[in-house]
Amino acid sequence: MKFLDQAKVYVRSGDGGGGAVSFLREKFVEFGGPNGGNGGRGGDVVIECVDGLNTLIDYRYQQHFKAKTGTHGMGKDRAGAHGEDAVLRVPVGTQIFEDDNETLIADMTEVGQRLVMLSGGNGGFGNAHFKTSSNQAPRHANPGLPGVEKWVWLRLKLIADAGLVGLPNAGKSTFLAAVSAAKPKIADYPFTTLHPNLGVVSIGERDFVLADIPGLIEGASEGAGIGDRFLGHIERCGVLIHLIDGTQDDIEHAYKTIRTELSTYNVQLGEKPELVVLNKVDAIAPEELAAKVKLLKKLSRQNVLQVSGVTGKGVDQVLYGVIETLDATKAAKAEALRRQTTPGWAP
């Protein structure tokens, strides 16, 4: 299935059905009178978050969604049926924006979540509704109210526990393939990853979802390369795994480039917990490796993990580090919530 994380669609709710003008005329009925029924309500436009989807590819082939019009009212006080809803089924993590692509309408984060984005028009009243003691034979009815229309953007942000970031050819896809059942494209040239990949990682008795996005280059946050449009996929991650190619000469520039792009794109993204990982250590001489690890420790001010995605060396240490960071973040959030809900507590 081809990956698509953004789509623009046209939606329109249904018009309400018109009310009927009708009079009872039966041979053996002593008193006749108006009996026109009300029109049915137009269908709504509904967004539904469903399981089993991880792309918006369906909305490349269909961009227009219109709910059905309500049925008109009929004689003998028969009301029209409501129009059928137009239901847009989207994967978990989909955000709905207005036509300006900036104003957020809704964030669909849970399976089963439903949102009535546009309500259908109300049905019109039939002439029976207008019968009064002073107007016993009304000869008019209301038309149904028109539906509402708009263009909206659907933008998918994958929901993963951890995200892989780094320059092109840092070994992110190799790492993902080594720790999960995912099968990303792996080659010896830049930008082999053209869309995000997800993999479920099992370590010990724990599982977590790992996301791999295309490599970032300098200026990615401003539109350079292809990674900038995919940075949103790691905004929901609890921890970032920053992979650095240990075989390149200038690892300081590589580290600072990614850190700058993350912070420029989103300040909160730049503040996320990070594991600094020096990759491809199997291809580095011991003296050179020690110097590069020392430099990265000075730059990141934290412990630097050493791995080889090809041989598997140090991989488990990274995965356990992810679990530890996720648990610490979860515990911190629980403690903050407990303090907020504790009566009499003040910071």
Q: Tell me what pLDDT residue 226 has.
A: 55
Q: How far apart are CA 257 and CA 239, in angstroms?
A: 18
Structure tokens at 36: 């026109």
pLDDT of residue 183: 61
Does 2 belong to an annotated binding site? no
Q: Is residue 168 marked as binding?
A: yes
Instruction: Supply the pLDDT for residue 187.
Output: 47
- Is 334 a known ligand-binding residue? no
Q: What is the pLDDT of residue 208?
A: 84
Output the pTM of the full model: 0.70
pLDDT of residue 243: 87
Q: Is residue 250 part of an annotated ligand binding site?
A: no
13 belongs to an annotated ligand binding site:
no
Domains of the chain: 6-156 (2.70.210.12), 162-340 (3.40.50.300)
Cβ contact 281:236 at 8 Å: no
Residue 343 marked as a ligand binder: no
Per this entry, what is the length of the chain? Answer: 347
The answer to whether the annotation marks 241 as part of a ligand binding site is no
Which segments of the chain have a pLDDT < 50? 1, 187-192, 220-221
Q: Is there a binding annotation on residue 55?
A: no
Cβ partners under 8 Å of residue 108, min gap 6: 47, 49, 90, 92, 93, 94, 95, 96, 115
Per-residue model confidence (pLDDT) at position 194: 54
| Torsion angle of the four alpha carbons 93, 97, 102, 104, in this order, in degrees rounded to the nearest 10 | -70
Angle between helical axes of 172-179 and 315-341 (0-180°, round to 10)? 80
Which token pair is 57? 């590819």
294 vs 65, 201, 276, 278, 316, CA distance in Å?
57, 29, 12, 11, 22
Q: Which amino acid is at 86?
A: A
**Contact between residue 315 and residue 179 where contact means Cβ atoms under 8 Å apart:** yes
User: Per the annotation, does 171 bind a ligand?
Assistant: yes
Residue 192 labeled ligand binder: yes
Q: Which residues does residue 202 pair with via DSSP β-bridges, in sequence order?
A: 207
Say if CB 122 and CB 44 are below 8 A apart.
Answer: no
Beta strands in 173-313 (DSSP E): 197-203, 206-212, 239-245, 274-279, 304-306
For residue 188, say whether it is annotated as part of any ligand binding site: no
169 is known to lie in a ligand binding site: yes
Establish whether 44 is an annotated binding residue: no
CA atoms of 20 and 143, how far apart (whole Å): 9
Q: Where are the beta strands (DSSP E) in the chain?
A: 6-12, 23-24, 33-34, 45-49, 64-66, 86-90, 94-97, 104-108, 114-118, 149-156, 162-165, 197-203, 206-212, 239-245, 274-279, 304-306
Q: Which amino acid is at 107?
A: D
**Are 216 and 240 within 8 A, CB to CB?**
no
Residue 314's Cβ-side half-sphere holds a number of Cα atoms within 13 Å equal to 17
